[in-house]
Amino acid sequence: MKNHYWSYILVMAAVTYLIRVLPLTLIRKQIRNKTIRSFLFYVPYVTLAVMTFPAILGETASKWSAAAALLVGAVLAFFGSDLMVVSLSCCITVYLVELFL
């Protein structure tokens, strides 16, 4: 155990928490500006899409298993499957594809 790591952890925690807490506590009123509202509405979809692809391809042992999982997940989600079903199907797809690769 390295004791000076505790101060690193403290710095990390402080910065990370400040980033998250400041807007949440300081901005309380409804923002009326339509452009800002639209921007904030689109942020989660865009950011999750950007984070999903192509990062998912590097996440598994093989590119192809991840690509198969992406396809299975997208199709299931499009046809309205449950969050948990989509998530587990992706995992099972990867496991099965890697079994046969």
Partner 1 sequence: MYIIIPSKDTVNVRGKISVCFSQPPEYTGKKIEKIYGIAVFYVSCIIYKAAGGKNRMKTENKNAYMLGIRHGWPIGVGYFAVSFALGIAARNAGFSALQAGVMSALCSASAGQFAGITLAASGASYLEMAVMELIVNARYLLMSCALTQKLDSKLSTGHRLLLANYITDEIFGLSVTTSGKLNPFYSYGIITVASPGWILGTCFGVIMGNILPSAVVSALSVGLYGMFLAIIIPPTRTNKVIAFLVPLSMGASALFTCLNDRDLLKMSGGNRIIVLTIVISLLAAIFFPHAEETDCTKGVKK
Q: Say whether residue 101 binds partner 1 (CB under 8 A).
A: no
Q: Draw the binding track, 71-100, toward partner 1 (x: CB under 8 A; -: no contact).
A: --xx-xxx-xxxxx-xxxxxxxxxx--xx-
The reply on whether position 63 binds partner 1 by CB under 8 A is no
20 binds partner 1 (CB under 8 A): yes
Cα separation of 84 and 98, whole Å? 21
List for the chain the helix, strand, coil content (%; round to 5). Answer: 80, 0, 20
Which of 48, 63, 64, 100 forms a contact with partner 1 (CB under 8 A)? Answer: 48
- 3-state secondary structure (DSSP) of residue 34: helix
